[in-house]
């Protein structure tokens, strides 16, 4: 950075002397020394070639067993970008441990970018790559993150994502059944409907029972809202059993199924033929509490092929009129923001209608509305069901991970078992 500052000071002084500097400016721009406004857009990451698949990689390789990362880039000049991979604990905090840093095999350098069609005004370049690859390995089983950064300064992060690396060394067996929550009165009655997911496994002789940590369940793509059954305490709805030998049982009996997600499908260029469009062609949306939705992508999205000249960005307005009895703010959440409740997606209120306009690339996206309190910049008491409904007939995907406190390399959260269960096929 000191070198860059000196260069710009030299340019400033020379301009004051009225020296012609266009050739020098062009040269500096070509090697990316000039400051740039770089923005990563439409960031997606998924397993294999299926855009709707859960982001997970398994030890052992095999066809389609890789993480695909793709995104658009808005930048006046072609930027030099790296992708840095970091191993994390089960709470997504990257390890600082030197043994777990994976130096030498944790950075994809100067990732190649392709030009987008000239019809795409809001971005200029595209990247798609698969990992692991020659310069990137995932030697540890557990939680991983990647960071799209500036190649000269990796502290400048343009985007990031979370994924799992799994080494299945134990056999995990799961059951799912319908139950009704006990010990409370629920109105409407549908709010009492839950799934009971029971996970059983036997620990191998090479592992120590005391190091079995917890079982974590991820519903669809909601990575930031895990369902955790911890062995350290039991409740009426989260329970742990151990036979003092090798058999373990973890139970979560409070998982509301919700409803199928809403979908916005922007792929029809005749239907959505302008830059400013509504998410639903008919305009307003309403509560779906007593209305079952059609099958969704379990929280995923499908974006049109990046070389398609019609795969442009649209300004999409989402609008909903909730029932009068719904109190609080309404937030838009979906595949376009990784299902993260964020103040940036808080909807504007006007005369009984909540609206929010966001920019989306042409494609199809799962989404929903969440009611919550917004106080002092924080989102509290989120309700994922009051506007969307809750039904046992909903099809959900649950990814189930068994965590183990691995004592080697200074200690880390290791995933030793994994299974996937679908609530209804």
Does the pLDDT at position 127 exceed 60?
yes
Does the pLDDT at position 279 exceed 80?
yes
pLDDT of 35 reads 46
User: 271 and 221, same structural domain?
Assistant: no
User: 156 and 190, same structural domain?
Assistant: no
- Helix, strand and coil content of the chain, in percent to the nearest 5, comes to 10, 45, 45
pLDDT of 182 reads 80
CATH number of the domain within which 351 lies: 2.60.40
Task: For residue range 12-33, list pLDDT tens digits in order.
Answer: 443 433 333 334 333 333 344 4
User: 195 and 305, same structural domain?
Assistant: no
Sign of CA pseudo-dihedral 49, 337, 415, 127: positive
Mean pLDDT computed over 263-287: 93
Cβ atoms of 303 and 51 within 8 Å: the answer is: yes
Cis peptide before 251 (omega within 30 of 0): no
- Supply 153's token pair: 């300064």
Sequence-separated (6 or more) residues with CB below 8 Å from residue 350: none
pLDDT of 32 reads 44
What is the full DSSP assignment across 80-142? PEEEEEEEE-TTSPBP--GGGS-TTSBEE-S---EEPPTT--S--EEEEEEESBTTB---S-E
Does the pLDDT at position 263 exceed 80?
yes
Mean pLDDT computed over 273-300: 93
Left, alpha or beta for 351 (phi > 0: left; psi -120 to 50: alpha)?
Answer: left
User: 142 and 206, same structural domain?
Assistant: no
Classify residue 273: in a domain, yes or no. Answer: yes
Task: For residue range 209-223, list pLDDT tens digits in order.
Answer: 999 999 999 999 999
Pairing of strands 313-320, 276-278: parallel
* More confident of the two residues 318 and 4: 318
pLDDT of 13 reads 44
What total of structural domains would you count in the chain?
3
pLDDT of 63 reads 79
* More confident of the two residues 183 and 6: 183
Task: For residue range 146-188, list pLDDT tens digits in order.
Answer: 999 999 999 999 999 999 999 999 999 999 999 999 877 778 8
User: 148 and 78, same structural domain?
Assistant: yes
pLDDT of 36 reads 64
Q: Which of 101, 134, 164 is the last residue of a domain?
A: 164
Banded pLDDT at 250 (limits 50, 70, 90): very high
For 362, other C-beta atoms within 10 Å of its C-beta total 20
Classify residue 242: in a domain, yes or no. Answer: yes
Please provide the average confidence, as pLDDT, over all residues in the chain: 91
Name beta bridge partners: 264. 365
Left, alpha or beta for 197 (phi > 0: left; psi -120 to 50: alpha)?
Answer: beta
Classify residue 20: in a domain, yes or no. Answer: no
| Angle of the 2-16 helix axis to the 22-30 helix axis, nearest 10 | 160
pLDDT of 349 reads 95
User: 119 and 70, same structural domain?
Assistant: yes
Does the pLDDT at position 105 exceed 80?
yes
What Cα–Cα distance (Å) separates residue 4 from each residue in 34, 39, 275?
A: 8, 21, 39
Look at residues 235, 244, 240, 250 and name the one whose alpha carbon lies nearest to residue 210: 244
Classify residue 21: in a domain, yes or no. Answer: no
Does the pLDDT at position 233 exceed 90?
no
Classify residue 321: in a domain, yes or no. Answer: yes
Does the pLDDT at position 252 exceed 80?
yes
Report the range of poorest mean pLDDT among 172-186, 285-299, 408-422: 172-186
User: 309 and 247, same structural domain?
Assistant: no
Task: For residue range 44-68, list pLDDT tens digits in order.
Answer: 999 999 999 999 999 987 778 999 9
Q: Which of 109, 140, 164 is the last residue of a domain?
A: 164
* More confident of the two residues 260 and 4: 260
Percent of the chain with pLDDT over 90: 85
- Supply 215's token pair: 């079982």
Greatest alpha-carbon span in the chain: 84
Look at residues 164, 99, 136 and name the one whose alpha carbon lies nearest to residue 415: 164
Mean pLDDT computed over 222-240: 94
User: 254 and 402, same structural domain?
Assistant: yes
User: 377 and 268, same structural domain?
Assistant: yes
Does the pLDDT at position 6 exceed 80?
no
pLDDT of 281 reads 79
Q: Which of 164, 192, 215 is the last residue of a domain?
A: 164
User: 398 and 253, same structural domain?
Assistant: yes
pTM of the predicted protein model: 0.90
Distance of alpha carbon 293 from alpha carbon 286, whole angstroms: 12
pLDDT of 64 reads 83
Domain that holds residue 128: 36-164
Classify residue 9: in a domain, yes or no. Answer: no
Classify residue 277: in a domain, yes or no. Answer: yes
Classify residue 388: in a domain, yes or no. Answer: no
> What is the Cβ-side half-sphere exposure of residue 127, based on CA atoms within 13 angstroms?
29
User: 121 and 94, same structural domain?
Assistant: yes
Q: Report how far Cα 273 is from the mean position of its chain's Cα atoms.
A: 29
User: 253 and 398, same structural domain?
Assistant: yes
pLDDT of 425 reads 64
């Amino acid at each position: 950075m000191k070198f860059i500052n000196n260069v710009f000071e030299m340019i400033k002084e020379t301009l004051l002397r009225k020296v012609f500097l266009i050739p020098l400016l062009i040269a500096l721009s070509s090697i990316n020394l000039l400051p740039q406004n770089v923005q990563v857009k439409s960031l997606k990451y998924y397993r294999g070639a299926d855009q709707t698949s859960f982001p997970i990689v398994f030890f052992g390789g095999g066809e389609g067993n890789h993480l695909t990362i793709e995104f658009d880039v808005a930048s006046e000049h072609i930027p030099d970008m790296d992708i840095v991979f970091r191993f994390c604990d089960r709470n997504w905090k990257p390890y600082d441990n030197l043994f777990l840093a994976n130096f030498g095999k944790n950075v994809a350098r100067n990732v190649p970018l392709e030009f987008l069609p000239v019809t795409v005004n809001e971005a200029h370049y595209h990247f798609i790559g698969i990992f692991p690859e020659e310069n990137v390995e995932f030697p540890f089983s557990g939680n991983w993150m990647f960071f799209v950064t500036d190649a000269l300064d990796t502290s400048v992060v343009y985007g990031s994502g979370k994924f799992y690396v799994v080494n299945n060394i134990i056999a995990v067996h799961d059951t799912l059944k319908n139950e009704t929550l006990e010990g409370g009165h629920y109105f409407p009655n549908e709010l009492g409907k839950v799934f009971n997911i029971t996970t059983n496994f036997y620990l191998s002789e090479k592992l120590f029972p005391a190091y079995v940590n917890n079982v974590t369940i991820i519903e669809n793509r909601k990575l930031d809202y895990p369902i955790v059954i911890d062995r350290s305490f039991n409740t009426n709805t989260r329970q742990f059993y151990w036979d003092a030998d090798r058999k373990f049982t973890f139970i979560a009996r409070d998982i509301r199924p919700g409803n199928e997600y809403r979908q916005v499908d922007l792929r029809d260029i005749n239907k959505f033929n302008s830059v400013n469009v509504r998410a639903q062609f008919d305009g307003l949306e309403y509560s779906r509490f007593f209305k079952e939705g059609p099958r969704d992508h379990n929280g995923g999205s499908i974006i049109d092929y990046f070389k398609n000249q019609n795969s442009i960005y649209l300004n999409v307005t989402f609008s909903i009129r909730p029932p009068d009895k719904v109190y609080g703010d309404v937030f838009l959440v979906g595949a376009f923001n990784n299902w993260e409740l964020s103040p940036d997606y808080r909807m504007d209120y006007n005369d009984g209608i909540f609206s929010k306009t966001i920019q989306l690339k042409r494609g199809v996206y799962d989404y929903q509305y969440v009611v919550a309190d917004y106080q002092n910049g924080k989102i509290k008491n989120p309700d994922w069901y009051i506007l969307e409904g809750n039904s046992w007939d909903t099809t959900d995907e649950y990814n189930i991970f068994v965590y183990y406190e691995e004592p080697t390399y200074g200690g880390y959260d290791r995933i030793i078992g994994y299974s996937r269960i679908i609530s209804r096929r």
